[in-house]
């Protein structure tokens, strides 16, 4: 018997156990990893009975023998492609051998037959799933698929032996009648969203049949263990531990107002929060309230933003949600707004957002597990007034940036939301710059603005609730208060009217 928890890695077609090597190296830090070459591949002998030697029953016997002879006790099983298909058959037939099963890109054939039968009156849905398996019909044709090997060997990393013998898997097992059966082993499915061979429905098919089923997502193609071994190893580890990681949420400008309220709302939902603010004490206060972590960050400083993002990754991991929220206000007519005022507001409200997203978005893309980017824009970004030319310009820019990112990052499973809050009672009115006014006039205007915002009575907590909803629903442009919803609609149906109202708003 082995020391250490045994994990068996079963490979698919047209691979050998080598395909698991990078993942096995990672898992070996904690587990006793067993990987074996399925019959007819790598160092294993070929059955020599034509394709009948690759029947599911024989594959399950082989796997059971590996568990019995090498591990000597129940194992955690991980299967990819045909390794997963035979894994389903094994956990159904021999549940006593398995502690858990992690399935990647290979459904149970009985569950899929049952899914097709249940959906027989929705032929377009069934067609959408089955058309991914067109090649299987081709594999059943004698001789021709054998000849195709030189054309696929590089793209599929396929050895000739693995390709030719592996065809036996299809010929021996497709075309048979497969009945679904309940599965008592705990199962985790890793969904690969860019897998051309396996659809979401193939995973759904298991739902009525597995008592304990969980799922996680990687935005990768079919051979995730080759392209993203670290991520695959982490998902397997979580599946074995039966653990769901907390969501990690990073918020800039989290020391006050909307940022703090959103950090709190995410924490209330069980997320781990990282509060960033140029005002370190206020970030620490948010961290203390949310049970999270605080870092001082001035988002206008690109080098510092990159450094803090790298530090967060190393200490806490890649965030699931990044909210580029830090912002300042500058009000007043264009003719009175100084170059210095312009630079300050552009530095924080535009460059700050760009720096934040440039530092974190690549982390999310590389991790390939999706995520969400939130930008705190403003209705000022689509509601032109005579009072906020500089501020509005920065907010229009980040509103557009968010929409461009939405287009660019969709394929990576990363959602983007641009929040347009409206008039919200926060500290922003106490720090607003009123262009061209004396210090005394500035103070007076700040007090008046604070009174007006207080009277409007919309709290940052209400904005935070909308933000959580927007992330959940993956909403792109999110006007929050009634007045900015009206302006948003007005822009579409009567833009001239919206502009006329905006002309009245002067300072
Ligand atoms: N309050 C509103 O009515 C309203 C309306 C529309 C949009 N917004 C936007 O919401 C966001 C949050 O504003 P708020 O109302 O919560 O204001 P707030 O002043 O209460 O909070 C802003 C936070 O950002 C921080 N910050 C400022 N400059 C920074 C920098 N360079 N680096 C890091 N942190 C910095 C501040 O220290 C503060 O903690 C801003 O982008 C603002 O433009 C607010």
Given 241, 274, 309, the domain boundary residue is: 241
Question: CB-based contacts of 40: which residues, under 8 Å, 6+ apart?
Answer: 46, 47, 53, 54, 161, 162, 165, 166, 168
Q: Are residue 360 and residue 314 in the same domain, yes or no?
A: yes
CA of 489 to the centre of ligand 1 (A): 25
Q: Are residue 354 and residue 452 in the same domain, yes or no?
A: yes
Q: Are residue 230 and residue 258 in the same domain, yes or no?
A: no
| Residue 8 Cα to chain centre, angstroms | 27
CA 241 to each of CA 4, 33, 186, 235, 292: distance values in angstroms, whole numbers, following the listed order: 14, 15, 11, 10, 24
Given 192, 215, 241, the domain boundary residue is: 241
pLDDT digits (tens, 9 = 90+) for 19-69: 999 999 999 999 999 999 999 999 999 998 778 899 999 999 999 999 999
Shortest-distance Cα residue to atom 2 of ligand 1: 424
Both tokens of residue 6?
A: 């045994």
Answer whether residue 348 is part of any domain.
Answer: yes
Q: Could you give the residue numbers annotated as active site?
A: 391
Q: Are residue 113 and residue 165 in the same domain, yes or no?
A: yes
Answer whether residue 391 is part of any domain.
Answer: yes
| CA–CA dist 504, 99 (Å, integer) | 70
Answer whether residue 1 is part of any domain.
Answer: no
pLDDT digits (tens, 9 = 90+) for 319-361: 999 999 999 999 999 999 999 999 999 999 999 999 999 999 9
Q: Are residue 267 and residue 216 in the same domain, yes or no?
A: no
CA of 307 to the centre of ligand 1 (A): 22
Answer whether residue 85 is part of any domain.
Answer: yes
Ligand 1 pocket check for 86: Cβ under 6 Å:
no
Q: Are residue 274 and residue 200 in the same domain, yes or no?
A: no
Q: Give the domain CATH number at 161.
A: 3.40.50.1820
pLDDT digits (tens, 9 = 90+) for 92-125: 999 999 999 999 999 999 999 999 999 999 999 9
The pLDDT of 4-15, averaged and rounded, is: 96
Asked whether residue 2 carries a pLDDT value surpassing 70, the answer given is: no
Structural domain that includes position 93: 6-241
CA of 88 to the centre of ligand 1 (A): 52
Confidence class for position 3, pLDDT limits 50, 70, 90: low
Place of tokens 């530092």: 359
Q: Are residue 215 and residue 263 in the same domain, yes or no?
A: no
| Residue 237 Cα to chain centre, angstroms | 18
Query: Ligand 1 pocket: which of 258, 307, 329, 433 to mutate (most atoms <8 Å of CB)?
Result: 258
Shortest-distance Cα residue to atom 36 of ligand 1: 253
Q: Are residue 226 and residue 270 in the same domain, yes or no?
A: no
Question: CB-based contacts of 485: which residues, under 8 Å, 6+ apart?
Answer: 479
Q: Per DSSP, what are the bridge partners of residue 375?
A: 324, 418
Domain count of the fold of the chain? 2
| Residue 134: per-residue pLDDT | 85
CA of 467 to the centre of ligand 1 (A): 15
Q: Are residue 254 and residue 232 in the same domain, yes or no?
A: no
Given 226, 241, 256, the domain boundary residue is: 241
Q: Are residue 279 and residue 237 in the same domain, yes or no?
A: no
Q: Give the domain CATH number at 471.
A: 3.40.50.720
Answer whether residue 55 is part of any domain.
Answer: yes
Confidence class for position 132, pLDDT limits 50, 70, 90: confident
Q: Are residue 442 and residue 483 in the same domain, yes or no?
A: yes
Answer whether residue 412 is part of any domain.
Answer: yes
Answer whether residue 11 is part of any domain.
Answer: yes
Shortest-distance Cα residue to atom 24 of ligand 1: 253
Q: Are residue 113 and residue 18 in the same domain, yes or no?
A: yes
């Amino acid at each position: 018997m082995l020391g250490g928890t045994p994990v068996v890695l079963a490979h698919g077609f047209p691979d050998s156990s080598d395909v698991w090597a990078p993942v096995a190296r990672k898992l070996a830090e904690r587990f006793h990893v067993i990987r074996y070459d399925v019959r007819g591949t790598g160092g294993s002998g070929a059955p020599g009975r034509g394709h009948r030697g690759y029947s599911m029953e024989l594959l399950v016997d082989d796997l059971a023998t590996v568990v019995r002879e090498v591990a000597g006790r129940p194992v955690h099983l991980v299967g990819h492609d045909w390794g997963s298909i035979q894994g389903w058959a094994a956990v159904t037939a021999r549940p006593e051998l398995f502690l858990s099963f992690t399935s990647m890109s290979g459904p149970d054939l009985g569950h899929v037959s049952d899914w097709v039968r249940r959906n027989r009156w929705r032929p377009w849905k069934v067609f959408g799933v089955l058309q991914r398996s067109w090649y299987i019909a081709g594999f059943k044709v004698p001789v021709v698929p054998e000849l195709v090997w030189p054309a696929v060997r590089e793209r599929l990393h396929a050895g000739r032996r693995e390709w030719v013998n592996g065809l036996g898997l299809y010929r021996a097992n497709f075309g048979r009648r497969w009945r679904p059966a309940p599965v008592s082993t705990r199962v985790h499915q890793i969904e690969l969203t860019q897998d051309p061979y396996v659809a979401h429905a193939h995973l759904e098919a298991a739902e009525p049949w597995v008592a304990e089923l969980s799922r996680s997502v990687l935005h990768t193609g079919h051979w995730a263990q080759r392209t993203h071994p670290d991520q695959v190893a982490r998902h397997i580890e979580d599946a074995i531990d039966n653990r769901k990681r907390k969501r990690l949420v990073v918020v800039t400008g989290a020391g006050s107002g909307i940022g703090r309220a959103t950090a709190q709302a995410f924490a209330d939902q069980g997320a781990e929060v990282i509060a960033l603010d140029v005002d370190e004490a206020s970030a620490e206060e948010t961290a203390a309230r949310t049970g999270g972590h605080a870092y001082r960050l001035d988002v206008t400083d690109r080098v510092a933003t990159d450094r803090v993002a790298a530090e967060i990754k190393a200490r806490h991991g890649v965030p699931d949600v990044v909210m580029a929220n830090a912002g300042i206000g500058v009000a007043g007519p264009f003719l009175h707004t100084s170059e210095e005022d312009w630079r300050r507001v552009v530095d924080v409200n535009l460059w700050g957002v760009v720096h934040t997203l440039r530092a974190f978005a690549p982390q999310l893309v590389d991790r390939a597990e999706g995520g969400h980017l939130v930008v705190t824009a403003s209705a000022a970004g689509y509601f032109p007034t005579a009072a906020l030319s500089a501020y509005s310009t920065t907010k229009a820019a980040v509103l557009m940036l968010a929409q461009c990112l939405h287009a660019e990052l969709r394929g990576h499973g990363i959602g983007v939301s641009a929040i347009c809050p409206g008039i919200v009672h926060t500290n922003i009115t106490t720090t607003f710059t009123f262009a061209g006014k004396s210090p005394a006039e500035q103070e007076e205007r700040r007090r008046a603005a604070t009174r007006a915002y207080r009277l409007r009575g919309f709290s940052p907590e209400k904005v935070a609730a909308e933000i959580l909803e927007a992330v959940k629903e993956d909403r792109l442009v999110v006007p929050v208060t009634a007045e900015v919803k009206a302006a948003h609609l007005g822009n579409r149906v009567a833009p001239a009217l919206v502009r006329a109202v905006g002309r009245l708003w002067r300072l």
